[in-house]
């Protein structure tokens, strides 16, 4: 048997021995990255872990232990569901059932999945009776979730990180899911709400901008990013990414630009529409940025279909590069590849939702969601293949394995990866002097665990991690503004906060 890498071991231990994901999470407030430091021969611990996991795998292969152990619905819930729905079914708060809440309907939801809304299938993970017990348990628990959840994190408290303290100052609010943030040259902020609204925030006043194009709100799709043209002073152009299509059943990621003047959008022009359109509500991407030469870059996820990411004849699972008016640059890497989509810049991505453009070096940093495990931080380069789903540090949501490979010739390794998954929604790098101790570190929004993940960098290597503001709520966006402050967008409480350092 081929030796297992350390991250795979942790996930195998988790699956085979049933260590719940959150047990692993608890011990991770500060630990070194497994991936970045090659194992030293003198360090016995990883070797022992590999040994233990191999034994566990072999034993389980013979005894089929997981099937024979009676597993309670709660155990299965924690192992398979909590990462997306919250340990206490929090994400079901104030939510209507789409496919019904009878035992039969919920059992079908769990067994076969509901791809249109992004709910995966679990037929391979549990026996039929376990699934129906879990369905009954879910129905019971969901009925008891209060509409408004008390947050265990108090936004009024001073927050202490390892090496600096700050308070949260509310900048914008009244939204369900604030998704994108952009800044105008006067320092004021634009914020999108996923449900389809765009706001302008200036000197503490929040006003809605009219003329926003209609968007389709479905699953993970809706109104997403807002990006300001680098030459906004002259042309007043802003860019919006959103889910759209002919009907709400045939959608993909779309980009439009429009003139923003006096609180109103005009001359809305769609400059990109992803192909193919499907009814899937999963994996739309779609962060955007302009590089220093004025090209617009953006990422689209695999739209819930793995195979898309290695197939150059569609837009899904790719990073793209276009001119500010939608034209395709003649030096894009696949313009001369027969059948390939000419906007493609890189491929083999699962769902890129964090993009950070480092102006000083021209480096494109990207983070993306893995499945269960295997979230990645990548340096995106022209024409390269980032491997999804051929190589990955993750496994399927139901615990089944889709690849044993974490590396392959011709496919890029992540700069860093996260197992268990943090569910990265966004990415920024601290460069300002306002947070001296954090300078050079990356911040990623965590959807799954509801905090900001700090990735500590020294000499271009990951040297540690820290969980900031645990349980504040799903972090949908984190950016460093032109004023050097960090801004975060928090779902559910629906607010944007500025992180203000204090003594
Ligand atoms: C990868 C993330 C993910 C995992 C893991 C996951 N779900 Fe879901 N599930 C979703 C999404 C996304 C939706 C639809 C959007 C939402 O949250 O409202 C959904 C919807 C549901 C629904 C509502 C269906 C309806 O008719 O409205 C139920 C019930 C459900 N999930 C139960 C579970 C259970 C039980 C598990 C564990 C076996 C599980 N889910 C695991 C992502 C997930």
The residue nearest atom 2 of ligand 1, judged by CA position, is 84
Q: Rounded to the nearest 5°, which phi and psi values hold at 207?
A: -125, 145
Whether the pLDDT of residue 53 is over 90: the answer is no
Q: Whole-angstrom Cα distance, residue 228 to residue 143?
A: 43
**215 has pLDDT over 90:** yes
Residue 369: is its pLDDT beyond 60?
yes
Tell me, what's the pLDDT at 347?
98
Q: How far is the CA of 61 from the centre of ligand 1 (A)?
A: 29
Number of C-beta neighbours around residue 87 at 10 A? 15
pLDDT at 291: 98
Higher pLDDT, 147 or 50: 147
Ligand 1 surroundings by CB, under 6 angstroms: 80-81, 83-85, 91, 95, 97-100, 106, 109-110, 114, 117-120, 122, 134, 138, 397
In ligand 1, which atom is closest to the CA atom of 142? 29
From 36-40, 221-225, 426-430, 474-478, the region with the lowest mean pLDDT: 36-40
**pLDDT for the residue numbered 10:** 44
CA 85 to ligand 1 centroid distance, Å: 7
161 vs 64 pLDDT, higher one: 161
Give, using CA atoms, the residue closest to atom 39 of ligand 1. 81
Spatial CB neighbours of 69, under 8 Å, sequence gap ≥ 6: 18
- Cβ contacts of 129 within 8 Å, gap of 6 or more: none
Checking if the pLDDT of 32 tops 80, the result is no
Q: Torsion-angle region of residue 221: left (phi > 0), alpha (psi -120 to 50) or beta?
A: beta
pLDDT at 9: 40
pLDDT of residue 83 exceeding 90, the answer is: no
pLDDT score, position 146:
79
Q: From atom 9 of ligand 1, which residue's Cα is the shortest distance away?
A: 119
Q: Determine which residue's CA is closest to atom 43 belonging to ligand 1.
A: 119
What whole-number distance in Å separates Cα of residue 258 and Cα of residue 238?
6
Helix, strand or coil for residue 321? strand
To the query of whether residue 349 is one of the catalytic residues in this protein, the response is no
Q: Which range is least confidently modeled, 43-57, 307-321, 328-342, 444-458?
A: 43-57
For residues 175 and 495, the answer to whether their CB atoms sit within 8 Å is: yes
Instruction: Give the ligand 1 atom nearest the CA of 81.
Output: 37
Segment 58-64 mean pLDDT: 44
What value does the mean pLDDT take over residues 293-307? 97
The closest alpha carbon to 308, from 338, 273, 333, 344, belongs to 344
- Which of 47-61, 133-147, 318-332, 487-501 has the least mean pLDDT? 47-61
Distance from Cα 121 to the centre of ligand 1, integer Å: 9
> What is the whole-number distance in angstroms between the Cα of residue 120 and the centre of ligand 1?
7
Q: Pocket of ligand 1, candidates 77, 78, 79, 84: which has the most ligand atoms within 8 Å of its Cβ, to mutate?
A: 84
Average confidence (pLDDT) over 437-449: 96
CA of 286 to the centre of ligand 1 (A): 22
Of residues 47 and 37, more confidently modeled: 47
Average pLDDT over residues 350-377: 97
The protein residue whose alpha carbon is closest to atom 11 in ligand 1 is 119
Query: What average pLDDT does range 126-153 have in this prediction?
Result: 88
232-247 pLDDT tens trace = 999 999 999 999 999 9
Which neighbouring-strand residues pair with 378? 366
Distance 119 CA to ligand 1 centre (A): 5
The least confident of 23-27, 198-202, 349-353, 375-379 is 23-27
Q: Which fold has domain 6-144?
A: Cytochrome Bc1 Complex; Chain D, domain 2 (1.10.760)
Write down the domain spans for the chain. 6-144, 159-276+284-502
Cα–Cα distance, 148 to 474 (Å, whole number): 15
Please give the span between the terminal C-alpha atoms of the chain, in angstroms, as a whole number. 54
What is the reported pLDDT for 52? 54
User: What is the model's pLDDT at position 64?
Assistant: 43
Domain 159-276+284-502 fold is Neuraminidase (2.120.10)
pLDDT at 30: 31
Q: Which atom of ligand 1 is nearest to the CA of 125?
A: 38
Q: How far is CA 102 from CA 124, 140, 227, 405, 465, in A?
A: 22, 11, 43, 40, 43
Q: Contact 444/426 with Cβ under 8 angstroms?
A: yes
- Indicate which residue of 283, 315, 320, 349 is catalytic: 283
Best mutation site among 79, 85, 143 for ligand 1, i.e. most ligand atoms within 8 A of its Cβ?
Answer: 85
CA distance 425 to 490: 11
Residue 420 in contact with residue 24, Cβ under 8 Å? yes
- Tens of pLDDT, residue by residue over 242-276, are 999 999 999 999 999 999 999 999 999 999 999 99
Give the Å distance between the CA of 73 and the centre of ligand 1: 15
Closest atom of ligand 1 to 91 CA is 17
- Give every CB contact of residue 24 below 8 A, 6+ residues apart in sequence: 10, 14, 420
What mean pLDDT value characterizes the chain?
87
Q: What is the rounded distance in angstroms from the CA atom of residue 404 to the CA atom of residue 416?
A: 18
State yes or no: pLDDT of 61 exceeds 60. no
Kindly tell me if the per-residue pLDDT of 353 is higher than 70. yes
Using left for φ > 0, alpha for ψ between -120 and 50, and beta otherwise, residue 381 falls in beta
326-347 pLDDT, tens digit each: 999 999 999 999 999 999 999 9
φ, ψ for residue 155, nearest 5 deg: -70, -10
């Amino acid at each position: 048997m081929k030796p297992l890498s350390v991250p795979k071991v942790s996930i195998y231990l988790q699956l085979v021995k049933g260590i719940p994901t959150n047990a692993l999470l608890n011990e991770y407030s500060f630990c070194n990255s497994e991936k970045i430091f090659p194992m030293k021969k003198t360090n016995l611990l990883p070797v022992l872990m590999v040994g233990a996991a191999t034994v566990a795998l072999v034993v389980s292969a013979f005894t089929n232990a997981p099937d024979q152990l009676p597993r309670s619905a709660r155990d299965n819930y924690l192992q398979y569901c909590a990462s997306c729905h919250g340990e206490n079914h929090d994400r079901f708060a104030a939510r209507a059932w789409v496919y019904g809440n009878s035992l039969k309907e919920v059992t079908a939801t769990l067994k076969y999945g509901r791809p249109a809304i992004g709910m995966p299938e679990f037929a391979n993970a549990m026996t039929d009776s376990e699934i129906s017990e879990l369905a009954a348990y879910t129905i019971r628990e969901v009925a008891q979730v209060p509409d408004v959840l008390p947050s265990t994190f108090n936004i009024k408290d001073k927050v202490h990180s390892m090496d600096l303290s700050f308070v949260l100052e509310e900048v914008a609010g009244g939204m369900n899911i604030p998704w994108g943030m952009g800044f105008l040259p006067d320092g004021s902020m634009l914020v999108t709400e996923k449900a389809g609204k765009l706001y302008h925030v200036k000197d503490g006043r929040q006003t809605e901008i009219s003329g926003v194009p209609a968007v389709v709100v479905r699953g993970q799709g809706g109104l997403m990013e807002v990006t300001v043209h680098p030459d906004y002073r002259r042309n007043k152009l802003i860019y919006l990414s959103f889910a759209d299509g002919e009907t709400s059943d045939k959608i993909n990621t779309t980009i439009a630009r429009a003139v923003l003047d006096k609180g109103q959008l005009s001359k809305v022009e769609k400059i990109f529409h992803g192909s193919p359109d499907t009814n899937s509500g999963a994996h739309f991407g779609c962060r955007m940025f302009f590089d220093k030469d004025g090209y617009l870059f953006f990422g689209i996820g695999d739209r819930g279909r793995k195979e898309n990411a290695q197939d150059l004849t569609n837009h899904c699972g790719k990073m793209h590069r276009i001119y500010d008016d939608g034209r395709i640059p003649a030096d894009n890497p696949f313009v001369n590849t027969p059948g390939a989509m000419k906007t493609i810049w890189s491929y083999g991505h699962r769902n890129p939702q964090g993009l950070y453009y480092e102006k000083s070096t021209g480096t494109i940093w990207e983070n993306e969601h893995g499945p269960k495990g295997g979230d990645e931080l990548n340096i995106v380069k022209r024409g390269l293949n980032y491997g999804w789903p051929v190589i990955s540090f993750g496994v399927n949501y139901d615990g089944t394995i889709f690849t044993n490979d974490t590396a392959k010739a011709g496919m890029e390794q992540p700069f860093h990866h996260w197992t268990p998954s943090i569910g990265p929604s966004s990415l920024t790098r601290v460069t300002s002097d306002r947070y001296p101790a954090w300078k050079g570190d990356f911040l990623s929004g965590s959807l799954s665990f509801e905090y900001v993940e700090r990735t500590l960098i020294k000499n271009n290597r990951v040297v540690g991690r820290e969980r900031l503001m645990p349980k504040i709520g799903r972090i949908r966006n984190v950016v460093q503004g032109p004023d050097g402050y960090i801004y975060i967008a928090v779902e559910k409480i629906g607010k944007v906060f500025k992180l203000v350092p204090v003594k």
